[in-house]
Amino acid sequence: MPDGTEKETEISGLKKYIESLKSSNGSPVAVRVNGELRELSSLEDVGPQSVVELVIPGSKEGLEIYRHSTSHILAHAVKDMFPDVKLAIGPATEEGFYYDFDKAGPFTPEDLEKIEKRMKELIKKNSPFIRKALPRGGAIDLFRKAGEDYKVQLLEEIPDETVSLYEEDGFVDLCRGPHLSKTGRVKAFKLLSIAGAYWRGDEKNKMLQRIYGTAFYTREELRAYLDFLEEVKKRDHRKLGRELELFSLSDEIGPGLILWHPNGAIIRKTIEDFWRSEHLKADYKILFTPHIAKLKLWQKSGHWDFYRENMYSPMEIDEVAYEAKPMNCPFHIEIYKSALKSYRDLPVRYAELGTVYRYERSGVLHGLLRVRGFTQDDAHIFCREDQIEDEILNILDFTIFILKTFGFDSYDIYLSTRPEKYVGSLENWERATGALKQALEKKGLPYTIDPGEGVFYGPKIDIKIKDVLNRAWQCSTIQVDFNLPERFDTVYRGSDGKEHRPIMIHRALMGSLERFFGILIEHYAGIFPLWLSPVQVSVLTISEKHEEYAKEIYKALKKADIRAEINLENEKVGYKIREATMKKIPYLVILGEKEAAEGKITVRKRNGENIGPFTIDEFIEIIREEVQKKVTSDK
């Protein structure tokens, strides 16, 4: 039953109960019979002792069925309007649904409006979705005659002898199902955008046109989601990156390679300075390593075997193959091995802001969030087995401190366990997983087990931060590694005088610096806290008569290591204030006759609040205190 209770009944009683719910918001969208998802109409062969679960609209599966049914209606509408279009696939997604089409000319925004109108007409007809089971060969013949090449290709790869099709109002599509009972059950939907998508996600295949949409049970839910999308659009780091002159990409340089402009670079420097300072306090040793290494290093590490599709083609130097580094780990191991370590030397903690290069397909590159060259805030800890838990506890404390400093105090934690393909002994895996689990529980941090999602060399903890829009972002990770110490014959001298293998912990707090910066831009909508703002204070004059006093104030701010700019343009002060506000500068110092005469300053915050008057020394102290505390809000 929808409330989680159980009831024993005849099949006729079940049908009557479902019928009685049809007019309510809780009306089921499907049923699960002995674990198998089915349409509401598929109850004829339900026998004695069957377990039937009602899939209700509010469930994850219910929403997926609802959206997948809407995708079917989209394909019907497109086929009605553009009969020559070939259909590919149209799944539900976490945000809605999409359908891929092979069409001679491009879809236009005007086409989307017309398609939406046709979809509403199909929904209004309230036609039933009818499931039809066909032999696979018969289905292939059907779609081949219809010229649906993509459906034929899909069918040829399906191993089942019988496949399911769905029909509504004469339109037939290949689908595993289930679907809603009728088209009229779709109450609120919106087509959102058009994008290119390679068939099967392979750049060697034809580029198709993908129409994205979303669907909800009520118009209120749809409106809330569309408002959310508007807010996301306003916060888009690519848009703000241009407006605030933070970074850019250039076709001349190459896709996925970031150019940091002065404003973005000063924020990056601030982040790096904070990161290095805190790591030195936490007893890490800072490293720098090359951007390339001999190919045989990556063969030895296993990256060439396990990670080759994400690596670039080797280059030849002095007739030796070299490779741009995709990881920093082997370099840190070589530094560790440069001198023999004793058990008393452990743990050894190495940290590096190391730039790496990984191949990403052009279709998935996305501003700062998905790039080809990026800097990891990488660290590798070499420790004894009895030190693992303490090191994990330290890393968890360090991670949460770093994330909170940047304004992220909400996150989801996942413990990823052994995958099917792995290296190392089961005993080591169990000990390492137990250490990760125990550390999380000691800290009282709630977590979810992510079975089989560990990396091949060890289990891991992943921390997904939540931004101001409650979107989850994977940033921090803690991974235990049995593979590399073995491959590189990494050892330490134990108290027994014998050589032992250290445990290696990989750890990133922010992950990719580029990606983390993109998340920061969107989290703050470009309105960075004072300590991160590229320009912290703008000095503005009311008239030319106050230029000399303004220059004195500006010099005093610069001398105090405050990032300041001065605007001496012959413009009205209102214009200067608007210009500085558009740049999202935290404090505006406004200087006129009164301020110059009294030797003080008037200060306006970017939220419009006026504070002061202050002497310049008083204001500098206010700035220093706010920067030192790393306040994350203007309030």
Q: Compute how many other C-beta atoms are within 10 angstroms of the C-beta atom of residue 299.
A: 15
Q: Is 421 a catalytic residue?
A: no
Q: Which of 592, 158, 479, 207 is nearest to 363 (CA)?
A: 207
Catalytic residue among 100, 111, 378, 462: 378
Question: CB atoms < 10 A from the CB of 235, how many?
Answer: 19
**Which residue is catalytic, options 329, 377, 387, 481?**
329
Is 175 known to be catalytic? no
Amino acid, res. 99: Y
Confirm whether 380 is a catalytic residue. Answer: yes
Residue 434 gets which letter from DSSP? H
Name the nearest CA neighbour of 211 among 89, 370, 123. Answer: 89
Q: Is 453 exposed, middle or buried (0-12, 13-18, 19+ CB in 10 A)?
A: middle
337: nearest Cα among 299, 306, 300:
300
Query: DSSP letter at 409?
Result: -
User: Does residue 311 contact residue 297 with C-beta atoms inside 8 Å?
Assistant: no
CA dist., res. 333 & res. 318, Å (int): 25
Question: Catalytic pick from 79, 358, 546, 606?
Answer: 358
Asked whether 224 and 188 are in contact (CB, 8 A), the reply is: no
Answer yes or no: 563 catalytic. Answer: no
Task: Choose, from 38, 79, 506, 604, the residue flagged as catalytic.
Answer: 506
DSSP E strand boundaries for 488-545: 492-493, 499-500, 503-512, 537-541
Phi-psi region of 220 (alpha: psi -120 to 50; beta: other; left: phi over 0): alpha
* CB of 358 closer than 8 Å to CB of 372: yes
- Bond preceding residue 178 cis, omega within 30 of 0: yes
402 contacts 509 by C-beta, under 8 angstroms: yes
| Contact in structure between 172 and 165 (CB atoms under 8 Å) | yes
Lookup result for tokens 């359908």: 99
| Catalytic residue of the set 238, 380, 437, 546 | 380
CB 258 within 8 A of CB 371: yes
Burial of residue 319 (CB within 10 Å: 0-12, 13-18, 19+) is: exposed
Q: Which of 460, 507, 523, 606 is catalytic?
A: 460
Instruction: Kindly state the tokens that stand for 259.
Output: 């150019």
Instruction: State the greatest distance between any 2 C-alpha atoms of the chain, in Å, as a whole number.
Output: 95
Pairing of strands 130-135, 348-357: unpaired
The neighbouring-strand residues paired with 171 are: 168
Q: Examine the residue annotation and report whether 397 is marked as an active-site residue of this protein.
A: no
User: CA–CA distance from 81 to each of 107, 191, 193, 333, 599 (Å)?
Assistant: 12, 16, 18, 62, 73
Residue 303: active-site member: no
**Tokens for 31?**
């049923």
> How crowded is residue 101: how many other Cβ atoms within 10 Å of its Cβ?
22
Alpha carbon distance 545, 118 (integer Å): 66
Identified catalytic residue from 376, 387, 479, 536: 376
Q: Is 624 a catalytic residue?
A: no
Using alpha carbons, list the distances in angstroms from residue 212 to 96, 421, 461: 8, 36, 33
> What does the alpha-carbon distance between residue 234 and residue 222 come to, in Å, rounded to a whole number?
19
The DSSP 8-state label assigned to residue 94 in this structure reads: S
Helices (H) and strands (E) in the chain, counts: 19, 30
Q: Which residues are catalytic?
A: 329, 358, 376, 378, 380, 460, 506
